[in-house]
Amino acid sequence: MTTRSLLILPGDGIGPEVMAEVRKVIDWLGAKRDLAFEVSEDLVGGCAYDKHGTPLHDDTMAKAQEVDAVLLGAVGGPKYDDLDFSVKPERGLLRLRKEMDLFANLRPAQCFDALADFSSLKRDVVSGLDIMIVRELTSGVYFGEPRGIFEEGNERVGINTQRYTESEIDRVARAAFDLAMKRGKKLCSMEKANVMESGILWREVVTRVGADYPEVELSHMYADAGAMQLTRWPKQFDVIVTDNLFGDLLSDLAAMLTGSLGMLPSASLGAPMENGRPKALYEPVHGSAPDIAGQGKANPIACILSFAMALRYSFDLGEEAARVEGAVEAVLAKGLRTADLLGEEGVSPVSTAEMGDAVIAELDASL
């Protein structure tokens, strides 16, 4: 029996609650599909700071480097707002991304038919939506130097530097083209080449890489125009590739096209390991939501779907990933909704655990 190693980092706020529902799916795969996972669990974010004085202990970082995949819940909360920037909970997540060199962030935005009316856009605009945003994750303005707050004359100035090398652009572009080849063979690259030199380089490198993928239809769009088009007619896109800052903004915008951040997973992929699989971290798009933590209101679907992405990209279990995704879709079609998805007529409110149980019931029905 093949053993697949998985490090679970529930984190803060609702993280432990939604991760508990993922554990149900993992246990189900072991019991019903004979798929063994070697699961370990550790701390990240505020809870790690509470115990170790750091948002990510070195031992935890070492574990993350050794396993096949890392699954993270959420980090942060108001109790940590006054901490020094260097030890804020989010620094633990950024360290994972940086030291694992997870340069390609995959953010799908899929609108399940049962939730099409829940979006703020009209049904015909979002029904059937299935796009993927590939965001460069380890460079750009979030990591460029110089950065900081400095004295300049009689006032302070805040500085962040947008910096990209050709190789950094090349590798995330290739990840996006490879993904486009497996989907609709259409890729749109977004930057601001009209006002930023980094954008000019970005467009040049992506165009050059595109020559190696003649089957993929490549287009370019300024990121601000892309934001407008995502809200006008998002189904014109299939795969979008963009830099760290624009990807952060555009993927959150795309997320809300589907109705709720509680529905959306993500994958962060790096270079292949010795087994040929990429280093990978999977996490829901939503935050730690401390205002509802411990109340059974959190939506576990994004975390469950993040694990489905792990099944597909880290464990080569595409059939089982589709089974989990199908179970989620079936649950939603029956009208079961956590607190973030209430508001429609004829739906049935359920708790976090009840939503997880319903997914397991649909997995049973899929056999």
Q: Which residues are catalytic?
A: 142, 192, 224, 248, 252
Residue owning tokens 């798929």:
35
Q: Is 95 annotated as a binding residue?
A: no
267 is in an annotated binding site: no
Cis peptide bond prior to 146, omega within 30° of 0: yes
Contact 269, 159 (CB under 8 A): no
235 is in an annotated binding site: no
- Tell me: is residue 266 an annotated ligand-binding position: no
- 106 near 134, Cβ under 8 Å? yes
Q: Count Cβ neighbours within 10 Å for each residue of 47-71 and write b for 16 or more, e otherwise.
A: bbbeeeebbbbeebbebbeebbbbb
Looking at residue 263, the DSSP 8-state letter turns out to be G
Q: Is 289 annotated as a binding residue?
A: yes
Determine if residue 288 is labeled as part of a ligand binding site. yes
- 107 annotated as ligand-binding: yes
Joined together, the tokens standing for residue 328 give 């989620």
Q: Does 276 belong to an annotated binding site?
A: no
**SS3 state of residue 172:** helix
- Give SS3 for 11: strand
Whether 293 has a binding-site annotation, put simply, is yes
Partner residues linked to 187 by β-bridges:
218, 239
Phi, psi of 11, rounded to the nearest 5 degrees:
80, -140
Q: Is 101 annotated as a binding residue?
A: no
80 annotated ligand binder: yes
Residues annotated within the binding site for substrate are 97, 107, 135, 224
Residues annotated within the binding site for NAD(+) are 77-90, 287-299
Residues annotated within the binding site are 77-90, 97, 107, 135, 224, 248, 252, 287-299
